[in-house]
Amino acid sequence: MSDTEIEPTELQDEQWSSTLSRGRERFLAHVVEHGLAIGQRTPKDFLRHFPPMAIMEALKDQPRLRADILAFTTGTKQRIAMKKGWESCGEDVEIALSEGATDEESVLDMFEADDRVRYLSAHKLWAYIIEGEFWKISANRKTEQARARTHIAYMLERALEDKLVTQQQIVEALTLEEIALRLPKQVLCEVLAKALANGRGATPFTETDLLEVVSASVMVEHIPLPLLWDSVIVPLAQKHAYLEVTAAEVPANDVAPTSGPDSASISEKSGVSTPLPARSSGVGGSRDAASSRWVAVSSASVANPSLSGFKVPTPTVSTGNAAEASPVAWSAEVNEEDLLDDEESEQVVNS
């Protein structure tokens, strides 16, 4: 493994899996845990956002969990720890940390990933995840950028696994035009080969088939991370109420929440990237080039039934800036879990 390679992102390689019942919660638990596992975030980062007093207050109605953390980190006997209030527990753990009797990793070892999501604020967990805007890491910082690519690929895979987003939504958010512009010739040939194979079996070629070839790990290698973040991750975070936004920051075709942070600070708090610089033909080519690279697919769809399910979005007018388009406003999935998610989102927004 080279010095820029980070752990693989395949979900089947995970050593831990959330048991939370809802996809919105599982996603958050997995992303927090993955960030810690690959070094994107550290236990010190976590306790800076959630110091012992904040954790113990969140667990004020969970004496057993408080006692487990206190006994493990300070050596207090379990039966005594069970009788202590949350303020006393928080103070004891803070003293243990300041005196070097324990460390942040030990606190997190006893504060399990699912419990972090059960008892801590989703908004605050999201702020912890996006701190530092890791998707903007310079290409010169190879190890850090490799870690950022790994983390974003994982987030995309996890979002699909937890049904927070569909393959069609990802493709429409990025646009076929942008995908074609960024992919190398070899990958485009693999896409066409897959389409032709589907055609021989009279099977429609859909966005799901496209993303089998252009997987998350492929996307992060060829599509700029800020573009992936703004086009896919930010709308996902908005839809599932991981962040707060104000009316001034919501596209006209979205429903504005009734409360949120000051509009002047929304970019930093939501994780919305600054616009990408305009591309020149010497860097990524022109949109005309992208359109021509899909001629084979578009033409083949006339005679090849495998392409009948492949939706090509209407191209937008290019201004030379890939990030100027508003994020796709995603509708709720028609299933029970997402309907519940949307109800919870409304409760969070209206609270």
What are the C-alpha distances in Å from 235 to residues 104, 163, 164, 238?
32, 14, 11, 5
**Last residue of a domain, which of 71, 100, 126?**
126
78 and 202 co-located in one domain:
no
101 within domain boundaries: yes
202-225 mean pLDDT: 96
pLDDT tens track for 237-284: 999 999 875 554 555 544 434 333 333 333 444 455 444 433 433 333
264 and 118 co-located in one domain:
no
Q: Using CA of residue 216, residue 217, residue 223, residue 226, what is the dihedral sign?
A: positive
178 and 34 co-located in one domain:
no
Rounded-to-integer distance, Cα 240 and Cα 169, Å: 14
- Residue 322's domain spans which residues? 164-350
pLDDT > 80? residue 340: no
CA 332 to chain centre: 17
pLDDT tens track for 306-323: 444 444 444 443 344 443
CB 181 within 8 A of CB 284: yes
90 and 217 co-located in one domain:
no
143 within domain boundaries: no
What is the percentage of the chain residues whose pLDDT exceeds 90? 64
Q: Say what the pLDDT of residue 186 is.
A: 95
**Last residue of a domain, which of 73, 99, 126?**
126
Domains in the chain, number: 2
pLDDT tens track for 86-145: 999 999 999 999 999 999 999 999 999 999 999 999 999 999 999 999 999 998 999 999
CB 43 within 8 A of CB 105: yes
Contacts of residue 89, Cβ cutoff 8 Å, sequence gap at least 6: 52, 56, 66, 67, 69, 70, 81
